[in-house]
Amino acid sequence: MTNVLVCIKRVPDFSGEVLLSDDSQSADARFVGYTLSNHDSCAVELAVQVATATGGQATVLSVGAAESVEQIRSALGVGCGAAVIVEADPVTLGPADVAREVAAVVRDHEAGPDGGTAYDLVLLGNDAADSGDFQVGIRLAHELARPVVTGMQTATVTDGTVRLQGDGPEGRETYEVPLPAVVTVMEGGVEPRYPTITGRMKAKKITVETRPCAQAPAGSGRVRLTLPPPTPSSAELLGEGPEAATSVVDLLNRLGVGR
């Protein structure tokens, strides 16, 4: 039985334009709404897969605004069985703060009643879609004195060992790590499942544990956010429809790639 803890971050849903808050300290998500960081959705999927395969439970955790409950609910809807929100103003959090708060929850739950809950596997995204710090998982592993593998796409647990695969610079890499361990996940290996109606119903009944920060956040050292200057379009129209094929091939020939 492997109990899995999966850490998710509520992030603004950027696929178009990014707007900044008036004080330049955060992104303005009023017009785009919030979502789960994409690697995190895959981490949730892997957490549910491992918990289901081993008869354990997947617990989902987020550090941040109380509204993170939206993203927590979506993880509960696809099979996580318990949830924790550590409430904090997201602007005040740096990656080290998040790692410390997650570690505090892990230790606390392990020391809980009836022998507590031991999380043999802690999953996170490789990098958050907004801040892209690439480090919470590594800092968390350090706090917990556990091994960490980054950027993995699949995970299977057998006999206290997790077998992981992901893309390395020279091809598909395999790791085998004894549990307990921390793993950061990249999208591409699994397809996050959609919540079912029964899944959603079950999720509604689960009480989300809400707790304050264990320690005051130290912050990220952010001075301010800016937007890169827009690059003026200098695109040259070659034509419209299939008639443009001649000009395209002329161009390819000029570029030396058409022949």
Partner 1 sequence: MILVYVETSAEGVSEVSLETVSFARGLSAAGNGVPIDAVVAGPVPEGSASELAAYGVRTVHHADSDDFDRFSGAASAAAVVAAREAAGSVVVMAGGTNRGNEVMARVATQLDVAMAANVVSFGGLSPFVVTRQVVVGAALEEVKLSRRPAVFSIAGHAVDPTPAAEPAAGTVQPLAVELSAADLAVRVVSVEHAAEDDSGSLKTARIVVGAGRGAGGPDGFAGVVELAELLGGSLGVSRVVTSLGWRPHHEQVGQTGNRIAPEVYIPCGISGAIQHWAGCASSKVIIAINTDAEAPMMTKATYTVVGDMHEIVPAINEEIRRRRG
Ligand X SMILES: Cc1cc2nc3c(=O)[nH]c(=O)nc-3n(C[C@H](O)[C@H](O)[C@H](O)COP(=O)(O)OP(=O)(O)OC[C@H]3O[C@@H](n4cnc5c(N)ncnc54)[C@H](O)[C@@H]3O)c2cc1C
94 belongs to the binding site for ligand AMP (CB under 6 A): no
Contact partner, 40, from ligand AMP, ligand X, partner 1, none, Cβ < 5-8 Å per class: ligand AMP
For residue 108 the two structure tokens come to 């606390």
Q: CA 138 to CA 141: how far, in whole Å? A: 5
Strand partners, 41: none
Secondary structure class of 101 (helix, strand, coil)? helix
63 belongs to the binding site for ligand AMP (CB under 6 A): yes
135 belongs to the binding site for ligand AMP (CB under 6 A): yes
Q: Do 131 and 220 contact (CB within 8 A), yes or no?
A: yes
Among 35, 40, 57, 149, binds ligand AMP (CB under 6 A): 40
**Residue 220 burial class via C-beta count within 10 angstroms: exposed 0-12, middle 13-18, buried 19 and up:** middle
How many chain residues touch ligand AMP (CB under 6 A)?
24
- φ, ψ at 222 (rounded to 5°): -60, 130
Among 77, 79, 151, 180, binds partner 1 (CB under 8 A): 151
Q: Which residues bind ligand X (CB under 6 A)?
A: 15, 38, 129
**Binding residues among 174-213 for partner 1 as defined by CB under 8 A:** 174-178, 181, 186-188, 191
**What does R_g of the chain's alpha carbons equal in angstroms?**
22
Name which of 117 and 150 has its Cβ closer to ligand AMP: 150
Among 20, 65, 206, 214, binds partner 1 (CB under 8 A): 20
Instruction: For strands 148-152 and 154-158, give the pairing.
Output: unpaired
Residues contributing to the site for ligand AMP (CB under 6 A): 7-9, 37, 39-40, 43, 62-64, 93, 95, 98, 124-125, 127-128, 131-137
